[in-house]
Amino acid sequence: MQISMIGTGYVGLVSGVCFSDFGHDVTCVDNQPDKVEKLKRGEVPIYEPGLDEMMARNMAADRLAFTGDLGAAVAASDAVFIAVGTPTRRGDGHADLTYVYEAARQIAANLRGYTVVVTKSTVPVGTNQEVERIIREAAPEADFDVASNPEFLREGAAIEDFMRPDRVVVGCTSDRARDVMHNIYRPLSLREAPIQFTDLESAELIKYAANAFLATKITFINEMADLCEVTGANIKDVARGMGLDNRIGSKFLHAGPGYGGSCFPKDTSALARIGQDHARPVQIVETVIRVNDNRKRAMVDKILDLCGGSVNGKRIAVFGVTFKPNTDDMRDAPSLVVVPALVGGGAEVRIVDPQGQKEGAALLPGASWHEDAYEAAEGADAVVILTEWNAFRALDLQRLGDAMAVPAMADLRNIYAPDDARGAGFTYISIGRS
């Protein structure tokens, strides 16, 4: 099939590359000429394991192309996917749909023959109806349907999630659109991946509900960790005991410094606003947002306690600043709260992150960047683990402590056993373990 992908951000680029690997002919469209030229040269603008190899393979097979010419791409397509950003709108927490609606207007001017216009961006309930209204108003004679196809990709594991999904959700209102979407995802039927067809509104809400529920699990286990710290319980044992219950499951029950990234913060905010707009407040989600914001600030207090109440004049090595490992994404990362607080408190902050500097250098002024963990810890008064990159999971603790002025560690991802850290001479604190 002929597919156009409008937008080459994280979702658009990963989806376009993976669709081409299914055997479809995919044209990815972006309105930034410099970005398009880099993509044509095979340069991947984001860090996602395996994406560069898959992109190069499909470009070489002439199944994947990049262009700034939206009109030509749309005119030749059986399906046009809208995969532009829907950031949180300043001031009210709503999803900003400016780019979605502008894409709809441009698509309307270039439709030729029957086309399914598919919204892959995360959008509030009712957005796809508005996309259809915009296109019909601009192109009354156009032969098209609108579908909703939310993404469920984890950064750092996006290709695996796309190729072996738990489910594919498609909202549509016609048999023709359903047939087109079924054909697009037909390669997954060989792997028996379930495809759930729904109405437009249900598909839109499934995405928000799923992300809000996962954010709630993270926030819940973080609050249980706080309770563990004052009762003597161990959060790892508590989380394992909960997770072994099949009704609960073990995923997203890992205590830490709070959630971040491109999805959970903006999607929980948008869902809360949707509830308020419809006079059905989603009070659990509103509480999750508040607790998670407080969580990040509480991590600063843990570090201050480790350092005797003040970091002024002290050297702090921070291991990991991206919101999770295996990505270069800094959006709403806990480090954006923690590092500025340390710098503002008078600390010399030295950062190590395998992929974080490209985005983080401008976001975390006042800190220095280092390639090697032991080098960053030289003469340090404390080490703070914020992101659980594999590179930090098996450090030589004795060597690390020997390099430091004061062997103290705030392990905010619980990647080390307390006895091991203390056995290496560290003053050690973690999350939810007394």
Q: Which residues are the active-site residues? A: 263
Residue 152 C-alpha from the chain's centroid = 10
d(CA 327, CA 312): 31
Tell me the C-alpha distance between 271 and 277, whole Å: 10
Do the annotations mark residue 152 as ligand-binding?
yes
What DSSP letter does each residue of 36-59 carry, written as one string? HHHHHTT--SS--TTHHHHHHHHH
- Tell me whether residue 207 is annotated as binding: yes
Three-class SS of 390-411 = HHHCCCCHHHHHHHCCCCEEEE
Q: Check whether 254 is labelled as a binding-site residue.
A: yes
Residue 302 is labelled as binding a ligand: no
DSSP string, 311-337: -TT-EEEEE--SSSSS----TT-THHH
User: Is 270 buried (19+), middle (13-18) or exposed (0-12) by CB count in 10 A?
Assistant: buried
Q: Is 217 labelled a binding residue?
A: no
Provide CB contacts within 8 A for 331, sequence distance 6+. 260, 261, 262, 265, 323
Query: Which structure tokens are listed for 121?
Result: 């961006």
Which of these, 431, 403, 411, 421, lies nearest to 315 by C-alpha position? 403
162 known member of a binding site? no
Binding residue per annotation — 266?
Answer: yes
Give the DSSP per-residue string, 100-150.
HHHHHHHHHTT--SSEEEEE-S---TTHHHHHHHHHHHH-TT--EEEEE--
Is 154 part of any known ligand binding site?
yes
Q: Is 68 annotated as belonging to a binding site?
A: no
E strand or H helix at 284:
helix 283-306
- The three-state secondary structure class of 385 is strand
- Candidates 164, 287, 316; CA nearest to 223 is 287
C-alpha angle with apex 257: 254 to 259, nearest 5 degrees? Answer: 75
Label residue 8 exposed, middle or buried (CB < 10 Å: 0-12, 13-18, 19+): buried
User: Residue 331, annotated ligand binder?
Assistant: yes
Helices (H), 142-263: 158-163, 175-184, 186-189, 200-231, 235-243
Q: Sheet containing 368-370: give its strands across.
A: 368-370, 348-352, 315-319, 382-385, 408-411, 427-429
Q: Is 97 annotated as a binding residue?
A: no
CB of 52 within 8 A of CB of 42? yes
Q: Is 155 annotated as a binding residue?
A: yes
Query: If we measure between CA atoms, which residue out of 327, 266, 324 comes closest to residue 46?
Result: 327
Q: Which residues are annotated as a binding site for NAD(+)?
A: 30, 35, 86, 122, 155, 266, 331
